[in-house]
Amino acid sequence: MIKRLVVFGIIAVIGFFLVDVINHIPFGEDRGNVGDYYLDKTPSELKVSNTVTAIVVNYRGFDTLGEVTVLFLAATGLASIMYRRRRIGEQQIRAKLPSSRIVQIGSQILFPLIILLGAYVFIHGHLSPGGGFQGGAIIATATLLMLISYRKFKVNHNTISWIESIAGVVFVLIGFAGLLLGTTFLQNFLPTGELNDLLSGGIIGIIYVAVGFKVAAELAGVIDTVLLNNRPGAKNEN
């Protein structure tokens, strides 16, 4: 009974705020061109060169938080379905033939370079095309390269979980900081700096770094889980 009351209370609160937001939407009024507003305000107010980044992280940052949450839930659901616990006397190993020495050496060379590229993409997401999702996906491909090159390459899921959790908490805490120091959730409360500078855009660059780490961790975990195959007698294979 108490559980039902709690669920009903949560639904009632969410419903109240949804109705309140809808009532404040000026339906039918001439609000001008939204695209022109973003193009004009992004460089002048936020000091961000990439307008898409400003829209995704600042103007509709709450929606982006929801997208990151959906990605987390999808990754968790997939991992829970496909993950198989290792039995006694068996090892988790990817069902594939060993790669050639040339592929292994090449993957060792490319691995740090791909990670560096991914980090560059999400760190500079507010200055150039790219961002947290793109940079995180690039880093995940580096993990995929190592997984398909080395049969015994392992991904530490505990470390991934910590990275993913810390990145998500940073995103939410920045949002609440905007609520406490400003007026709205995820409000840009930090100095915006100068246009085209790395330390510009206020909270936008920080959020994209957090998103980059979170996406990279989630996708790397999913890739590792998908490629793993629990096979009897695998411990005797090279």
At residue 177, the 3 state secondary structure works out as helix
- Tens digits of per-residue pLDDT, 193-231? 888 888 888 888 899 899 999 999 989 988 888 877 544
Of 194, 197, 198, 176, which Cα lies nearest the Cα of 186? 176
Residues, the chain: 238
Stretches in the chain below the pLDDT threshold 50: 85-90, 230-238
Residue 194 CB partners (closer than 8 Å, separation 6+): 47, 200
Query: Taking Cα atoms as reference points, which of 75, 62, 91, 58 lies closest to residue 206?
Result: 58
Q: What is the pTM of this model?
A: 0.73
Q: How many CB atoms lie within 10 A of CB 238?
A: 5
